[in-house]
Amino acid sequence: MNRRSALKALAVLGGLGLGVGASFRVDAKGRPNLVSLPDAFDEVDHFGITHQVRDGVAFRIPEPSLRKDIVIVGGGISGLTALYRLGEYDCLLVEKEDAFGGNSRRRQSRGIYYPLGALVSQGPVFPFIDFFRELDVPFEPVLGSRLAYHVRGRLVEDPLAEDGWRHLPFSRREREGFRRVRDDLAALRHPIDGIFFPRADNRADVRRLDRITLSRYIADKGYPEAVSHFLKLMLSSRLGETGEDVSAWIALYLLSNLPAPAYTLPGGHGAISEILRERCEAIRPNALMTGFTAIRVENRPDGKVWVTGCADDGSLQTIEARCAVMAVPKVFTKHAVVGLREERPEVYDRFRYNAYLVAQVELSRRVAPAFETASASRFSRFIVAADWLLGNRDPQGSSHLTVYVPYPGSAGRIELFGGSARQLAARIVADLNAILPRSRGAIETVRLHRWGHPMVGCTPGMDDVLNAAKQPFGNIVFAHSDSFGITGLYSAVWTGMEASSDARIVLEDI
C-alpha cells in the first residue's frame, strides 16, 4: 500500500467512526498505524479535597470516634517508613488515594511493570544499607547502555562513559568539555574530599557550594555551552528544574551520580513501596487505611492531637492521637496543621515545587537504545525503557516506555493543568518517532498522568528553612522527602526515620 492509498484507507476508517480516541499515523513504509490517544488524563493524584483545604473551605469537625497512639498522614515511602519503624505503637496510617506509595507506585500491563513516578537510585548505599537489607529490597543494576543523549538529530550512547564523549556531534573543544565534566563529577564522588550527606561533614569549600546556584558554578568552571545545556537538562530530569535557582551543592550531589552505577527494580520504586506496605501489614494488621484525606490536624489543649479526614463518600471522621506524623508535602501541611503558618511565618512559603507530566507508551516491539534517553531539544525530555530489566519483559515482544516531562514552578503547573491530553499525547508520539526511529509504526497506546507537587525546589541556603520546617510542632512531627531539600528515595526514607524518632520522643515524653 502506498502512502496515498494508506491515507485513503484511513479516511474510510475515520468515516466509519473507528477513529474515535485514536490518531492515524503512517509509518516510514507508508503503512497505516493506529495510535490510541487519550481524551483525558489518567489521574493518579487527586486534589479535590486538599484544594478545598488550601482555599480555606470551613469543615464541620466531628468529635473523635477513634483513638490511637500515632496517626501518620500520607502513605508514600516516608510515611510507610515511619510506620515500619513505629510498629510497637498503636498506629494508623491514612492515605488519600486508593493505593499506597505516593510518587513511588507502579502498575503492570502485558506482563511489564512500569513506574507511575520514581524509578532509579544508587541502590543500597550508606547509610541505608541495613534498612534495605532488612527489607530485602531486590535492587538490580542497570546493565548495558544506561543513558543515550539525543542531540542535533543524533543518538549518542553513554556520553559520560569512558569514551562516549568522543562520539558527540560537537566541536573538539566542546567534546573536551564533556571529558572534563565527567572527570570533575567523578572527583566529586570521592568519599572524603567529595560531596556527600550530611553536608556538615563535607570539606568547607564543598559546603560553600550551597551558597551559589548551579548556573554560577558552571560559569565559574568555564564549561562550554554544550556541557552547560547537558548538565541543566540532566538536573531537570532529577529535580524538575534546570539550575538557575538550584543550589550548586544539591545539583552536584545529584549530577555526580550520573557516571556512577544506577539501580532500579521492575516498575521502579513502586516495588519498594509494596515491600514496605507488606512488612507494615505483617507487623501491625489494620494499621493502613486508604481513601481518607486528612483535612485538619490540630494540637489540642489536653496534649492530644485531632486528625480530621474526609472519606471518599464525603463523611468526616476525627481520630484522636497522642502524636501525628505529617508525611505529606509541606505545601499541604501548612494549610492543614492549625496555627503552623502563623507560628512559623517565612518558613513554609519558601518551599517551591515542580510539576511533571508522565506518559505511559505501549509499543509492539522494543525500540530503546538505552535505559534512559534524554533529548536536548524535544518536548519529551526523558524516556525510560520500563522493560530494560531482563526479568520485566513481555515474552510476546511488546514493550513499554515511560516519558517524563518537567513543568517547573507555579507557571509550569498552571500550563500542565490547563493542557489538552490529546494534544500532549500526539506531541509525545511525534517526539518518539523523531528521537527513536524504531518507534515509527510501533506505538500502540499512550496514557498520561499529571503530578502537581512532586519535586521541591532547592535554592541556595535552604538548609536553615528546611531545619526550621521539620521541627516538631507541639505533638505533631514532620516526615516527607521535601524536608530534605531533594525529593527522592533516600530523603523519603531518611525523613521517615527522623519522624519516627521525633514521634518516639513525643510519646515517651523524653
Report the residue number whose CB is nearest to ligand FAD.
Answer: 76
* DSSP secondary structure letter of residue 361: E
DSSP letters, 152-205, are TTEEEE-TTSTTGGGGSSS-HHHHHHHHHHHHHHHHHT-TTTS--SSGGGS-HH
C-alpha separations of 183 from 149, 151, 165, 251, 374 in Å? 18, 21, 12, 16, 21
CB 491 within 8 A of CB 118: no
Q: Which 335-394 residues touch ligand FAD, going by CB under 6 A?
A: 356, 358
Span of 164-172, 249-257, 326-334, 339-347 interacting with ligand FAD by CB under 6 A: 326-334
Q: Decide if residue 454 touches ligand FAD (CB under 6 A).
A: yes
Q: Decide if residue 103 touches ligand FAD (CB under 6 A).
A: yes
Q: Decide if residue 119 touches ligand FAD (CB under 6 A).
A: yes
Span of 69-77, 196-204, 279-287, 420-428 interacting with ligand FAD by CB under 6 A: 69-77
Pairing of strands 316-326, 22-26: unpaired
Span of 74-82, 173-181, 208-216, 247-255 interacting with ligand FAD by CB under 6 A: 74-82
Q: Decide if residue 325 touches ligand FAD (CB under 6 A).
A: no
Span of 67-75, 346-354, 421-429, 437-445 interacting with ligand FAD by CB under 6 A: 67-75
**Rounded CA separation 8/3 (Å):** 9
Closest CA to 118 of 233, 256, 253, 263: 263
State the minimum distance, in angstroms, from the CB of residue 356 to ligand FAD. Answer: 4
Label residue 291 left, alpha or beta by phi (over 0 means left) and psi (-120 to 50 means alpha).
left
Of these, 38, 75, 267, 460, which contacts ligand FAD (CB under 6 A)? 75
Tell me how crowded residue 508 is: count the other CB atoms within 10 A of its CB: 7
Q: Decide if residue 97 touches ligand FAD (CB under 6 A).
A: yes
397 to 426: interface string for ligand FAD, x by CB under 6 A: -------x----------------------
* Cell numbers standing for residue 481: 522527602
Q: Decide if residue 433 touches ligand FAD (CB under 6 A).
A: no
Q: Decide if residue 480 touches ligand FAD (CB under 6 A).
A: yes
State the minimum distance, in angstroms, from the CB of residue 16 to ligand FAD. Answer: 38
Q: Which 267-296 residues touch ligand FAD, going by CB under 6 A?
A: 269, 293-294
166 to 205: interface string for ligand FAD, x by CB under 6 A: ----------------------------------------
Q: Decide if residue 77 touches ligand FAD (CB under 6 A).
A: yes
User: Which residues neighbour 67 within 8 Å (Cβ) at sequence distance 6 or greater?
Assistant: 319, 320, 321
**Rounded CA separation 364/358 (Å):** 20
Q: Name which of 24 and 47 has its Cβ closer to ligand FAD.
A: 47
Cα dihedral sign, 217-457-337-285:
negative
State the minimum distance, in angstroms, from the CB of residue 166 to ligand FAD. Answer: 28
Bridge-partner residues for 25, per DSSP?
A: 33
CB 493 within 8 A of CB 102: no
Span of 59-67, 102-110, 188-196, 422-430 interacting with ligand FAD by CB under 6 A: 102-110
Q: How many Cα neighbours within 13 Å face the side chain of 490?
A: 19
State the minimum distance, in angstroms, from the CB of residue 413 to ligand FAD. Answer: 13
Bridge-partner residues for 372, per DSSP?
A: 147, 384
Q: Name which of 94 and 466 has its Cβ closer to ligand FAD.
A: 94
The footprint of ligand FAD (CB under 6 A) covers: 50, 73-79, 94-97, 102-104, 117-121, 269, 293-294, 327-329, 332, 356, 358, 404, 451, 454, 480-481, 487-489, 492
